[in-house]
Structure 1
Amino acid sequence: MTGRGLLEGQVALVTGAGGGIGRGIALRFAQEGAAVVLHCRTAVKAAGEVASRIRESGGRALVVRGDLAEEDVCRRVVRDAADWGDGRLTALVNNAGVQPTRELAGMTVAQWRAVVDTNLSSVFACTQAAAEVMRRQEGGGSVTHIASIEATHPAPLHAHYCAAKAAVVMHARSAALEYGPLGIRVNTVSPGLIHREGLDEEWPEGVRRWERAAPTGRLGRPEDVGDGCVFLASGLASWVTGHDLVVDGGVSARPTW
């Protein structure tokens, strides 16, 4: 795969790599020279297709499966990735998440926890497990959480998701503080609306509103998020930690009055 070799020699784990943003991140990491472990929960076929594409282009890829709502699964996935990398894991991208819509007034605690456990608790557990590997290796490593602009710009029916993503941003800042002395950098990427197949038909008015609001005039692409993750995992960001990189085409810069 062609690239500038920004991640040459790295071993990266991308969670939720079976589709959409995760696919874009995994492909960009491979293009920049990283060996990539693609985690998925149910999208095994899709993750396998991405891994095959990476291998066919001369890269290295492995697919691992598991439900990251379970702490022991988070640790097992990280362990499997490091074992495949001959004991090394230099980059973790915590991308796995869910985004159901539900009115706050009728939400149950179980429904709240289902989102928080997948979007936030998995980030904590995977990061903790990865840090144990990274702290023992020369050069440390990097961790990037995929947050959202909804961490600071709430949307109706997304209260559980918005709260979890806001916590993800603060987790990264806290982890950056504590893991920094161990050579581990922790950041977040906060995407705006990212295009996926069928979105134009499912939510045409929302897509039109976004395109009008974005100074760049378009929706994001998975590779746009991947580019941000590549930067944060590369040597170009060696002095960047505790930072939230917003990738939203400029929507957050638009005044609300």
Structure 2
Amino acid sequence: MRLLEGQVALVTGAGGGIGRGIALRFAEQGAAVALHCRTSVESAREVASLVEDSGGRAVVLQADLTDEDACRRVVREAAEWGDGRLTALVNNAAVQPVRELDGMTASDWRTVVDTNLTSVFACTQAAVEVMRERGEGGSVTHIASIEASAPAPAHAHYCASKAAVVMHARSAALEYGRYGIRVNTVSPGLIDREGLAEGWPEGVERWQRAVPLGRLGRAEDVGDACAFLASPLASWVSGHDLVVDGGISARPTW
């Protein structure tokens, strides 16, 4: 039996990159997948087509998750599509702008925090309501980052938001565990994407020299971690941050 057979999952930011890898892994493991996107509708539809072509079920839901009401709506729509069930939520939607603290405005800060953190709070709260009503428990996984504990230049707003996401998951695990709902985070390292090597060759080269496993991450690597955490294999795992970084966090910094 596939790990997620019979589950109904909502993956936010599923139009491309990491979200695409997560959604496809969930479908491969038997879950019906609701694919949230904000602007990348065509890309999300492509993912849905791949799922359906392989015999799975998928639906595309569009929403701006900086709006709390939109967060609640997309969770409700996912559950309605799933015949009233939602067993897994993956909070993946995020932005990662580059801006030094000097010159960063409060508006810049709020855009990142609202997208990366407040949406996680609102979507999780809405999903838990659905899971509690069904009484089946469930899993929530936030996509954090190794930058939650190892900051990068010009990423202060992003790093702060991801550190907060990790602590939100731990807090939510503490409060929602009595309902059989597990909450965890996955913290990826540098994940390959189209154009990355061409647009940031020096960074990719530094990473490949430093990472013990000798390569960039793949979206599927993150998808595997999320599928594990949503599966019965992780039935006693909650409040945990699963680092998926090829071992780079093990490198000494001196």
TM-score by structure 1 length?
A: 0.98
Q: Map 1:235-246 to 2 at 5 A.
A: 235-246=232-243
Name the structure 1 match of 2:86.
89
Q: What is the deviation of 1:139?
A: 2.4
Moved more, 130-139 or 207-216: 130-139
Structure 2 match to 1:256:
253
Name the structure 1 match of 2:171: 174
What SS does the aligned partner of 1:114 have? helix
- Please report the RMSD computed on the Cα atoms of aligned residues, expressed in angstroms: 0.6
Give the whole-Å Cα distance in 1 for the aligned partners of 2:142 and 2:16.
Answer: 17
1:11 corresponding residue in structure 2: 8
Secondary structure of 1:67's match? coil
Q: TM-score with structure 2 length normalisation?
A: 0.99
CA–CA distance in 1 between the matches of 2:196 and 2:127?
34
Q: Give the alignment partner of residue 26 of structure 2, picking from 4, 12, 29.
A: 29
The alpha carbon displacement at 1:236 in A equals 0.2
Aligned to 2:185, what secondary structure does the other structure show?
strand
Distance 1:108 1:256 in 2: 31
Quote the Cα distance in structure 1 between the aligned partners of 2:108 and 2:192. 26
Provide the residue aligned with 1:148 in structure 2.
Answer: 145
Among the aligned pairs, what percent are the same residue?
Answer: 79
Where 2:134 maps in the other structure, the secondary structure is coil
Structure-to-structure mapping, 1:206-245, within 5 angstroms: 206-245=203-242
CA contact (8 A) 2:135 2:179 kept: no
Helix, strand or coil at the partner of 2:187: strand
Residues 88-140 of structure 1, C-alpha deviation per residue, up to 9 Å, x if partnerless? 00000000000000010211101100000000000000000000001122421
Letter aligned with residue 147 of structure 2: E
Q: Which letter does structure 2 place at the counterpart of 1:216?
A: L
- For residue 212 of structure 1, what is the amino acid of its counterpart? R
Q: Distance in 2 between matches of 1:197 and 1:112?
A: 27
The correspondence for 1:101, drawn from 95, 98, 101, is 98
**Any stretches of 5+ residues in structure 2 without a counterpart?**
none
Q: Deviations over 1:17-63 (max 9, x none)?
A: 00000000000000000000000000000000000010011000000
Count of paired positions: 254
Alignment of 1:22-101 (within 5 A): 22-101=19-98
Q: Deviation per CA, 1:68-98: give whole Å up to 9, x if none.
A: 0000000000000000001000000000000
Residues 129-138 or 179-188, more deviating:
129-138
Partner of 1:118: 115
In structure 1, C-alpha distance between the alignment counterparts of 2:132 and 2:63, rounded to whole Å: 24
CA contact (8 A) 2:140 2:181 kept: yes
**Matched residue, 1:135:** 132
SS of residue matched to 2:133: coil
Q: Distance in 2 between matches of 1:188 and 1:103?
A: 26
Partners of 2:133 and 2:7 lie apart in 1 by 15
Q: Which aligned segments of 4 or more residues in structure 1 are displaced greater than 4 angstroms?
A: none
CA distance in 1 between partners of 2:202 and 2:90 (Å): 31
CA distance in 2, matches of 1:11, 1:17: 15
Distance in 2 between the 1:251 and 1:212 partners? 10
Unpaired segments of 5 or more residues in structure 1?
none
